[in-house]
Amino acid sequence: MKRPQTIRSGLPLALGAHAIWGSMPLYLLLVQSVAPLEFVAWRLVFTLPLCLVLVMVLRGWGELHAVLRNGRAVLTLFGSAAMVAINWWLYVWAIHNGHIYAASLGYYILPLMMMLLGLAVLGERLTRRQWAAVALAALGVGILAAGALTTMWVSVAMAVTFGLYGLLRKTVAAGPLAGLTVESLILLPIALVIVIWYAREPAGSALTQGWGVALAVAWSGPMTAVPLMLFAAAARRMPYTVIGFLQFISPTVVFILGLTVFGEELRPAQLGCYILIWGAAALFSWDLLQGRKAKAAS
């Protein structure tokens, strides 16, 4: 079990990551004219230079070389790179096709996936109230599965891919910056093939659609690198079950945006799912607070 001060040190990092992820649909409005696959490829292309600049500024060459010499770490990062790339594509595809709630619900299901992985793989434990919270959230997901089957595959796939990504990043022998740099190096060849293929199409590259679109696409580098590094750093400081439950933050922001900015219709099954998951989040958070108070008093 992580010490309370360790959890506190990871909490600001996790909150920062979710604040950026939650605002992502607003950013994606700027690149609606870009095909999801091409946009994901450009995210990778623009993320790597930023990572290398940060490695240089922070003098992280030694750690980066150590990770590249570690065969097991590189193999694990191959897996995490594949998971995060698929997750990015699913998210951008969902937003571009008007499935804002499906994207939001995918990240609502994610905490369940992360907590189950924490229990099954990392040997972490939940209290009775935390188990009750998980049961409430699972019931909400069940309601969704019964009433929103057409987009359920998107939500589940997003949860599975990012849940596996987080688990791999928690267990790999690589810091947040070094790990993301290696992931970007691994995916760069594929990304370059994709952007070249789109450039040869009649519509041309996204970077030729005007300065506004080009700058928005280039900004995908910071929008990608910063939250992923914050998340990876938080995952190494906090129990995976706890950081998994914090995943409810960003989809709540996305839900509010879907309701207010994007005007997507909220179906009864989705509303029922949200109500149960919000109740689960409140119960889980209350249990964490009570546990912290009990430790402080002892």
Range 100-115 burial, b when 16+ CB lie within 10 A, else e: bbbbbbbbbbbbbbbb
pTM: 0.77
Whether the Cβ atoms of residue 227 and residue 23 lie closer than 8 Å to each other:
no
Task: Taking residues 20-28, report their average pLDDT.
Answer: 88
What is the structure's pLDDT at 116? 74
Given a cut of 50, whether residue 1 has pLDDT beyond it is no
- Summarised one tens digit per residue, pLDDT across range 254-263 is 888 888 888 7
Task: Taking residues 284-293, report their average pLDDT.
Answer: 72
Given a cut of 50, whether residue 2 has pLDDT beyond it is no
Q: How far apart are CA 69 and CA 66, in angstroms?
A: 5
pLDDT band per the 50, 70, 90 thresholds, residue 241:
low
CA distances from 9 to 4, 54, 159, 179, 235 (A): 9, 22, 25, 20, 11
Domain that holds residue 65: 4-297
Q: How far apart are CA 247 and CA 235, in angstroms?
A: 11
Residue with tokens 């079950």: 241
Structurally, the chain folds into a number of domains equal to 1
Whether the Cβ atoms of residue 102 and residue 157 lie closer than 8 Å to each other:
no
